[in-house]
Structure 1
Amino acid sequence: MSEVTMLEKLERIIRADEAVTPERAAELSVLLDEPPIRDVVALVERSSATRAAVVLRLLSRRRAIEVFDALDAAHQADLIDALGDESVTEFFGELDPDDRVSLLDELPAEIAERFMRTLDPTERDITGVVLGYPKGSIGRRMSPEVPHIYDDMNAEEILQKLRRVAHNVETIYTLPIITRDRKLVGVTSLRDLFTAEGATPVTDLMVTPVFAHAQDEEEATARWFVPLDMLAMPVVDESERLVGMLTFDDAADILEEADSEDTARSGAHEPLQQPYLSTPLVKIVKSRIVWLLVLAVSALLTVQVLDTFEDTLAAAVVLSLFIPLLTGTGGNTGNQAATTVTRALALGDVRPRDVAAVAWREIRVGLLLGAVLGALGFVLATLVYGLDIGLVIGSTLLLVCTFSATVGGVMPIIAKKVGADPAVFSNPFISTLSDATGLIIYFLIAKSVLGL
């Protein structure tokens, strides 16, 4: 049986059986042990909470913990009720401190407190360190489980210590070097330690550290850290004392979450924060309904503009034929600019103080786009409806493209300046604003050229 067929068979069995019989449970347990772990994770992500809980219970203990750990925190939270306290407590205790905190953030306070009480004192204290930092800070995403390598140790002493503590720490490949009072002074690698003579002082092996402060904003930190292609970097407090390590995979997760959020909000809905097929229907509706209501209300601006210029439309009915073209072009132009600038803000290519430079650049881009589209619109409209209509359409396209590109480029920066999410002010709102403003420009030009 091929691997794909095996997974399809597993999915059919899980979907068909709300209550798994003992005989079927034994069969499923054997089948679930065969596919790679990534495929079992995919099966769980495509299943409802009830069916996913069945899969996790049928897996071996170690495999179940690995699958649970691979899920998004919001998905883990959805599985809490279906799994029952005993299973959840076991999974919760096996999570890394930063992953544990991400799950706690998704749970009601009383449930989070109950799970915290199930931890042994050491794990509770380590988790408390991460919880002590504000949400959105890099301290909330770091691992506090770091080997203490002091600057007065040699290579052999460090290797002996790593052998003792390796199973209790997040990573041993990038090693921060600290003084006896925990101040960060350098970093070294496991490769350098292995290749050095045993008596070599670690100060001869260390280099100047790249580090972040625990209070730094998580997305901004991940943006500059990931391109460095480092496995991990130290995280320090205000006094530059070592408090944890940020690993590359955790930084990549931060960027994935941020990009998913921006993409969702640019499309006028909230991010689901878990796989689509495992997301409850009510949660999907909630992620969309508020935005639809906001956009419906904002779209009333367009209706009001049409009502204001009703007499103009009545005098030249042909103008109504071009409304979809003009509003669509304006919205698309604004969306292109907003998406480009929002991405540039996320990557650090553009900063809030660059608002004037962005506006000037988008004015010129909009003029060029409008000139090309306006010239084409002028020729086609003139050929079919005459010179006057051609002038109206060509002029409107020129001004609408210029206005929409400028607004689309500037709005995300304004959002950033006031502390809002640039993606929120991106495509949906800009489309509505461009529609209303484009119609005003259109009818004013029409009244002037046609003498209405």
Structure 2
Amino acid sequence: MPAEILPAEELEDLLARELTSETVRQAGTAAALLGEGDVVDLVERLPPARAALLFRVLPKDRALAVFESLDAGHQADLISALREADVIDFFEQMDPDDRVSLLDELPAVVADRLLSGLEAGERTLTGVVLGYPRGSIGRRMSPELVSVPRAATVEQALANVRAHVLDAETIYTIPVVDHGRLLVGVVGLRRLLASDPQTPIEDVMRPVESAVVTEDAERAARRFLDRKLLGMPIVDHEDRLVGIVTVDDALVIVEEADSEDAARQGGTEALRRPYLSTAVTRLVRTRIVWLLVLAVSAILTVQVLEIFEATLDQVVVLALFIPLLTGTGGNTGNQAATTVTRALALGDVTSRDIGRVLFREVRVGALLGLVLGSLGFLIAGVVYDLQIGIVIGLTLLAVCTMAAVVGGAMPIIAQTLRADPAVFSNPFISTFCDATGLVIYFLIARAVLGL
């Protein structure tokens, strides 16, 4: 197939070959025919050295657009492979909040060198965002915004928007400020264009939904998206306007948080970049800690079996149901934890609601246990005998109730302790329910069978 019509997959193969002047020329021709999204996907799949080569054959404006579309992790990888002059040029063109996300991924020496290469004004704006705590919405806001005074008219406001249209992060949501940049309202561009030029801004502005700079970024972003806003002003603790967050920034924050929660609920850490471009050693590091923790925790289960070894020797059939009971308990707890973790993230549940959550999960777990226990009683009673059926039925009822309560409580306890609720979820709940479920199982067996 001619180089002019190479699709992204064949361009990837081309960049994987031994590099010659002809190969580089063909890569440049093929890359010029790809859409920006295809180039971004290709850069994310390539090793940093080859991705840097692709950058060098792209037109400067297009390379900048692709660089800004990458996540901070990939940008950091590229910086190590690109020439310093290329890096500084890209860095200068980025928005302050995007610069900060990139700086967080870089070694301190590299970050300091990039900061020192900025113009004084851009360095000041970047320093403002860097000054806020990691994980706060202030760290993700843009200080480049356009605002209008409360005393202005619609005509004056539009003139101010036109004067800053190329500098502001967004012009669709315009904060209204009073003396000392005190935030008093917000007005949309559509409302300005539809209003009489001499109308006072105070008559067209609406109440504002804002966030304090130190508020948790995920919580602020979810509230922002829940309100279906285009932009949300960020204020300091005295309600003075300091920045703005746009809908695309909020979507990125929530996507990162959801990816992290999903990974931790599966017993690993989020990769923060596509799977194929993640180093094998990085994959191992994201998994090994959790496996070690779970391996140590699983010793509890072994110890429980050792304690009740005599009971198993007397009624060997009890061992056949251990996988069923531990699996059911773990799954029930995981279901409850996932539901409550999601409710916490969306703001449907807070730490103060723990009593209501536990009361609901007791009822849910008991009903689930009643259904599963009845089924277990019938099957085990027919296949083995009535007493074994009673043991299995009662155990399923107790284990489901216990697991649902534990699964519902742990994410709330984690949030109260300022830990990530996802960390306390599936892996730890499964291990806890396994050990506790076995204790319940053997105690019921001893009582019913008279062992």
Length-normalised TM-score, structure 2: 0.96
Match of 1:265 in 2: 264
More displaced 10-residue stretch of structure 1: 384-393 or 151-160: 151-160
- Taking the aligned partners of 2:209 and 2:326, their CA distance within structure 1 comes to 49
Shift of 1:375: 0.8
**Contact 2:369 2:400 survives alignment (8 Å):** yes
Find the counterpart in structure 1 of residue 105 from structure 2. Answer: 106
1:187 positional shift: 1.5
Q: Tell me what 1:286 maps to.
A: 285
Residue equivalent to 2:304: 305
1:12 paired to 2:13 = yes
Q: Which residue of structure 1 lines up, in the alignment, with residue 122 of structure 2?
A: 123
**Aligned partners of 1:166 and 1:235: how far apart in 2?**
19
Separation in structure 2 between the aligned mates of residue 384 and residue 92 of structure 1, nearest angstrom? 71
Cα distance in structure 1, aligned partners of 2:297 and 2:125:
48
SS in 2 for 1:382: helix
CA contact (8 A) 2:100 2:126 kept: yes
Structure 1 residue 217: Cα displacement:
1.6
Question: Which secondary structure does the structure 1 equivalent of 2:180 belong to?
Answer: coil
Alpha-carbon distance between aligned partners in 2 of 1:47 and 1:153, rounded to the nearest angstrom:
52
How much has 1:197 moved relative to structure 2?
A: 3.2
Within 5 Å, give how 1:294-373 maps onto structure 2.
294-373=293-372
Cα shift readout 1:87-119 (whole Å, capped 9, x = no counterpart): 221211111110100111111222111110011
CA contact (8 A) 2:5 2:33 kept: no
Aligned to 1:174: 173
Distance in 2 separating the partners of 1:197 and 1:358: 52
Are the aligned partners of 1:149 and 1:178 in contact in 2 as well (CA < 8 Å)? yes
Q: Is the 8 A contact 1:48 1:277 kept in 2?
A: no
Structure 1 unmatched runs, 5+? none
- 1:49-448 equivalent positions in 2, closer than 5 A: 49-448=48-447
- The one-letter code of the counterpart of 1:266 is Q
SS across alignment from 1:424: helix
Is contact 1:49-1:79 (8 Å) kept?
yes
> How much does 1:4 deviate?
10
Structure 2: gaps of 5 or more residues = none
Q: Point out 4+ residue stretches in structure 1 off by more than 4 angstroms.
A: 1-5
Letter in 2 for 1:23: E
Superimposed CA distance per residue, residues 4-61 of structure 1 (whole angstroms, 9 cap, x where no aligned partner): 96111112112334xx322221211121121221111111112222222222222111
Is 2:5–2:30's contact at 8 Å kept on the other side of the alignment? no
Tell me the percent identity. Answer: 57
Q: Distance in 2 between matches of 1:305 and 1:382?
A: 26
Please list the CA deviations of residues 155-192 of structure 1 after superposition, one character each: whole Å capped at 9, or x if unmatched: 33333332232111111111112234212222212222
1:290-309: CA deviation from partner (whole Å, max 9, x where unpaired): 00000000000001111111
Q: Give the CA deviation at 1:205.
A: 2.4
Counterpart CA distance in 1 for 2:72 and 2:23 is: 30
**Equivalent in the alignment of 2:40:** 41
Task: Describe the superposition over 1:394-444 as per-residue Cα deviations: whole angstroms up to 9, x where unpaired.
Answer: 111111111111111111111111111110000000000000011111111
Deviations 1:305-361 (A, max 9, x none): 111111111111111111111110110011001100111111111111111111111
Q: How far, CA to CA, are the matches of 1:312 and 1:5 in structure 2?
A: 69
Count of equivalent residues: 450
Residues of 1 paired with 2:159 and 2:424: CA distance? 55
* Distance in 1 separating the partners of 2:257 and 2:193: 38
Q: How many Å separate the matches in 2 of 1:339 and 1:16? A: 46
Q: In structure 2, what residue type is equivalent to 1:187?
A: V
Between 261-270 and 131-140, the greater mean CA deviation after superposition: 131-140
Q: What is the Cα-based RMSD across aligned positions, in Å? A: 1.7
What SS does structure 2 have at the residue aligned with 1:255? helix
d(CA) in 2 for partners of 1:85 and 1:331? 52
Contact 2:361 2:404 in 1 (8 A): yes
Judge which range, 269-278 or 425-434, deviates more.
Answer: 269-278
